[in-house]
Amino acid sequence: MKIVIQRVSKASVTINEEKVASISKGLLIFLGIVNEDTQEDIKWLTNKIVNLRVFGDENNVMNTSLLDVQGDVIVVSQFTLHASTKKGNRPSYIKAAKPDVAVPLYENFVKQLEVDLGKKVQTGQFGADMKVALLNDGPVTITIDSKNKE
């Protein structure tokens, strides 16, 4: 699993001109899934996300976590995170998991994140054409790949 985390002051997801998710202070997480991903990847990533110290403390030093600030989360599926641009100018998405594999893992990721966070996580809609709006706070943008744990 590969994620891109953006610390946001606000973010939203709109599908067909209907806002389906909206948060203020928190994290917008783009999630890319491959066939080899497992529940172990999910548990490792969600634990990392909720404990990642990317929010400012009383001295405005990034020393507090999503749990500490009780921030909100939106998770958006994004198969393009696994694009290969090695050959030519058209990206290949061959590494990205097909929906029959990706959807259950995506749903499990959201459920595990809710357990770790202790509250509801908002989402986009898997496979939909989504318009994502955000106000990146910092800016802070971090990528994490569960295959690079060590």
* Residues designated as active site: 78-80
**How far apart, in whole angstroms, are the C-alpha atoms of residue 117 and residue 111?**
10
Phi-psi region of 138 (alpha: psi -120 to 50; beta: other; left: phi over 0): left
Q: What does DSSP assign to residue 96?
A: B
**How far apart, in whole angstroms, are the C-alpha atoms of residue 48 and residue 148?**
13
On whether the CB atoms of residues 147 and 35 are closer than 8 A, the answer is no
- Unique residue bearing structure tokens 């990706």: 102
**How far apart, in whole angstroms, are the C-alpha atoms of residue 16 and residue 18?**
5
Beta bridge partners of 5: 29, 142
